[in-house]
């Protein structure tokens, strides 16, 4: 449960303000600026509790100088609130009899590598809980970097590695490599650890490999992907598709991508194309006749 006491949150914000040279802080004004978070029993973190003030500047001057709307202050407020929310969750995890990790690589909008970590743990009654643990930036996608990031998070969060029993990954080579993969290195460090590759990812890859032996299925999947790329790579073509869908009274749906490791992607792509087929055909005809696009004519 989230702690009910709000003064530590407000005091931390005030301390950070004074630490950064802004001596005049109105805690009463801060109460109106701090986002409220409801706890399980209905109390609010960030609601007014005190009207004490640090500094001797007049209220008008405080309001002008400390509006708590800068990106830096907002970020610090979020960090403080996150610590309040995270603290009891980490205490529950530390007292758990068994924990496991789920890790996966991703990229942000700047195409920087990120490592997404989730933790599973048992409570005293044997119920399993999943929690987001951390999102850290990776220098590269090598196994050594991933392992170093995982160990750093475990140390920073002070989690009991002696009770770390499971590791879930997507089955990528960097994760499951027998000689130097992430699972292999972590197992060497934590002997009780059991690594499990995602069954859904493995089934999707098996289906993809099996369908490659059937020429019709391979061609069909390639056509779906070519349609997706044809419209995604051009704003004008996407606008043509949208206009055709509006004219025909159909849903304005994009042609979805087919991914080998996304087990529902092909089904969703086929379903979407079936629903929007008249609009897709009209858009391709428009591109082929008006703009003389050979790719559209071939599709």
3-class secondary-structure state, position 214: coil
3-class secondary-structure state, position 196: strand
User: If you compute the radius of gyration of the chain from its CA atoms, what whole number of angstroms results?
Assistant: 27
pLDDT by residue (tens digit) across 243-297?
Answer: 777 777 776 567 777 776 666 777 778 887 887 788 888 888 877 787 777 777 7
Q: Give the pLDDT confidence score for residue 187 in this predicted structure.
A: 92
| Sign (positive or negative) of CA dihedral 51, 52, 53, 54 | negative
Q: What are 137's strand-pairing partners?
A: 114
Both tokens of 140, joined, read 């590269």
Both tokens of 89, joined, read 């969750």
Contact of 194 with 175, CB cutoff 8 Å? no
Average pLDDT over residues 22-49: 43
* Residue that wins the pLDDT comparison between 157 and 287: 157
Q: Give the pLDDT confidence score for residue 262 in this predicted structure.
A: 67
Return the HEC string of 219-270.
HHHHHHHHHHHHHHCCHHHHHHHHHHHHHCCCCCCCCCCCCCCCCCHHHHHH
pLDDT by residue (tens digit) across 91-102?
Answer: 999 999 899 999
Q: What structural domains does the chain harbor?
A: 7-91 (no CATH), 95-197 (3.30.420.40), 204-298 (no CATH)
Nearest in space to 137 (alpha carbons), one of 178, 165, 163, 108: 108
Strands 113-122 and 99-107, bridge-based pairing: antiparallel
Q: Give the pLDDT confidence score for residue 14 in this predicted structure.
A: 45
Average pLDDT over residues 50-57: 40
Count the helices and strands in the chain (H runs, E runs): 12, 9
Both tokens of 59, joined, read 């209220």
- Whose tokens are 């042609």? That residue is 255
Distance between alpha carbon 295 and the CA centroid of its chain, in Å?
Answer: 36
- The rounded mean pLDDT for the chain is 76
Confidence of residue 65 (pLDDT cuts 50, 70, 90): low
Q: Rounded to an integer, what distance in angstroms lies between the CA atom of residue 37 and that of residue 137? A: 28
The answer, yes or no, to whether residue 10 has pLDDT greater than 60, is: no
Q: Give the pLDDT confidence score for residue 63 in this predicted structure.
A: 52
Nearest in space to 154 (alpha carbons), one of 103, 112, 221: 103
DSSP annotation string for 93-160: HHT-S-EEEEEEEEE-TT--EEEEEEEEEE-TTS-EEEEEEEEEE-SSS-HHHHHHHHHHHHHHTT--
Q: What share of the chain is helix, strand, coil (3-state, %, to 5)?
A: 50, 15, 30
């Amino acid at each position: 449960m989230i702690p009910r006491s709000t003064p530590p949150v407000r005091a931390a914000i005030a301390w950070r303000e004074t630490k950064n040279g802004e001596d005049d802080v109105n805690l009463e004004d801060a109460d109106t600026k701090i986002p409220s978070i409801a706890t399980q029993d209905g109390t609010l973190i960030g609601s007014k509790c005190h009207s004490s003030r640090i500094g001797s500047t007049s209220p008008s001057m405080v309001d002008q100088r400390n509006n708590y709307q800068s990106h830096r202050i907002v970020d610090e407020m979020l960090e403080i609130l996150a610590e309040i929310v995270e603290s009891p969750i980490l205490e529950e995890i530390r007292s758990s009899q068994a924990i496991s990790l789920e890790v996966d690589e991703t990229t942000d909008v700047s195409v920087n590598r990120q490592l997404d970590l989730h933790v599973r743990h048992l409570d005293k009654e044997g119920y399993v809980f999943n929690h987001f643990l951390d999102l850290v930036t990776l220098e590269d996608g090598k196994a050594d970097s991933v392992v170093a990031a995982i160990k750093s998070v475990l140390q920073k969060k002070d989690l009991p590695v002696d009770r770390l029993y499971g590791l879930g990954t997507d089955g990528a080579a960097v994760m499951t490599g027998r000689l130097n993969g992430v699972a292999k290195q972590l197992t060497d460090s934590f002997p009780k650890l059991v690594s499990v590759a995602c069954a859904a990812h493995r089934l999707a890859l098996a289906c993809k490999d099996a369908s490659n032996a059937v020429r019709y299925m391979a061609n069909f999947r390639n056509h779906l992907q070519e349609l997706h790329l044809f419209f995604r790579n051009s704003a004008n073509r996407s606008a043509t598709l949208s206009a055709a869908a509006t004219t025909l009274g159909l849903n304005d749906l994009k042609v979805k991508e087919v991914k080998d490791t996304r087990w529902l992607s092909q089904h969703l792509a086929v379903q979407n194309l079936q629903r929007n087929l008249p609009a897709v055909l009209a858009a391709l005809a428009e591109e082929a006749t008006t703009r003389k696009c050979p790719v559209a004519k071939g599709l």
